[in-house]
């Protein structure tokens, strides 16, 4: 009855139907197809107590302020708090901004009116607490992997040897594997919908990544990585959360090790899945062989020559030397 009255008012008086942010967020989660939708859902869960019941017109920087201030300090299960980086808060604000933009431009009601008359300006926070990524040394990598349970250690080993993102590792499916019998190996082609930059992603396997894949073969029918018989939609767990500061650098570590090993820029782009003007899933056999050879340069076999790379930091911080595999 209440809905019919809203429609009647809209028809007779031209009153735009009121919708809550929760309604808009629900529609967004149902219709969106982006690779990081699970992360958006997580951010919206944090936002809901603050703005879920508000009409769309009432969602702006003023009503978001309490969320911003309280989100800076996240309370954990152990009743402690930890500082949340501004980049994480900005992810939530970007999701709000996107939903409001859709409400003001694409989503129409029965009368052809947009859900919102205009989009309020949602300003992002200045990310002055951003952590600079740095490559892990072999010693740091060993310590990190020793802290992880076996299933996460395998995922982390795969990640640091392929340059894949967390979601690409978690979502990796057997149906995406492409055998290359001529080279006695295989690669994975991650479809665009599961990749952050929305382009197909070639995942080249060096000998360590290939060993991980072989170990996981037959464990789960659809996904390469799983835990207790279920696919993992996030690399989670208390130990992983405690190690995240270093774990976030696994992709960066792979890239810097490639560079230290003398791998050229274009090959590094392809191996890291960076967006380029080239069609990065169309390769000749010699090109694939070259990429596999380049990826194998970062395996860090005992006895192989190691390249020492100096990491230059701010004047107040000491210069840090990191051992990276050459060949």
Q: Which of 267, 271, 239, 241 is nearest to 159 (CA)?
A: 271
Average pLDDT for residues 167-185, to the nearest whole number? 93
Per-residue confidence (pLDDT) for residue 259, from 0 to 100: 92
Q: What is the mean pLDDT of residues 304-323?
A: 49
- The full set of domains in the chain, from first to last, is 2-105 (1.10.150), 138-325 (1.10.443.10)
Q: Is the pLDDT of residue 322 over 80?
A: no
SS3 82: strand
Average pLDDT value for residue range 251-272: 92
Q: How far apart are CA 202 and CA 190, in angstroms?
A: 6
| Predicted confidence band of residue 251 (pLDDT cuts 50, 70, 90) | confident
User: Considering the entire predicted model, what is its pTM?
Assistant: 0.66
The percent of residues in the chain predicted with pLDDT above 70, rounded, is 77
Averaged pLDDT of the chain: 83
Other CB atoms within a 10 A radius of the CB of residue 199 amount to: 17
- Of 58-62, 184-188, 262-266, 280-284, the range with the lowest mean pLDDT is 280-284
Tokens (6 digits) for 245? 């500061």
Q: Which residues contact 100 (CB under 8 A, 6 or more apart)?
A: 24, 56, 59, 116, 119, 120, 122
């Amino acid at each position: 009855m209440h809905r019919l009255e809203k429609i009647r008012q809209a028809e007779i008086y031209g009153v735009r139907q009121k919708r809550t942010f929760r309604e808009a967020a629900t529609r967004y989660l149902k219709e969106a197809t982006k690779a990081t939708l699970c992360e958006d859902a997580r951010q919206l869960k944090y936002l809901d107590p603050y703005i879920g019941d508000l009409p769309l017109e009432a969602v702006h920087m003023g009503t978001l302020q309490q969320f911003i201030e309280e989100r800076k300090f996240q309370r954990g299960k152990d009743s402690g708090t930890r500082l949340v980086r501004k980049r994480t808060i900005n992810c939530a604000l970007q999701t709000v901004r996107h939903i409001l933009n859709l409400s003001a431009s694409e989503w129409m009601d029965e009368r052809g009116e947009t859900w919102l008359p205009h989009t309020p300006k949602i300003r992002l926070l200045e990310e002055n607490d951003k952590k600079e990524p740095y490559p892990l040394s072999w010693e740091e990598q060993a310590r990190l992997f020793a802290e992880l349970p076996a299933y996460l250690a395998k995922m982390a080993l795969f990640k640091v040897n392929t340059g894949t993102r967390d979601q690409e590792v978690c979502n990796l499916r057997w149906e995406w594997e492409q055998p290359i019998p001529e080279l006695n190996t295989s690669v994975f082609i991650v479809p665009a919908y599961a990749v952050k930059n929305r382009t197909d992603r070639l995942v080249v396997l060096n000998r360590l990544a290939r060993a991980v894949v072989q170990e996981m073969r037959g464990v789960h029918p659809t996904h390469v990585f799983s835990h207790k018989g279920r696919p993992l939609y996030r690399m989670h767990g208390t130990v992983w959360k405690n190690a995240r500061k270093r774990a976030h650098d696994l992709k960066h570590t792979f890239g810097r090790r490639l560079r230290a090993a003398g791998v050229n820029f274009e090959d590094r782009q392809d191996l890291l899945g960076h967006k380029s003007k080239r069609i990065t899933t169309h390769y000749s056999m010699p090109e694939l062989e070259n990429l596999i050879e380049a990826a194998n340069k970062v395996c860090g076999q005992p006895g192989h020559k190691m390249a020492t790379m100096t990491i230059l930091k701010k004047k107040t911080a000491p210069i840090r030397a990191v051992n990276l595999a050459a060949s």
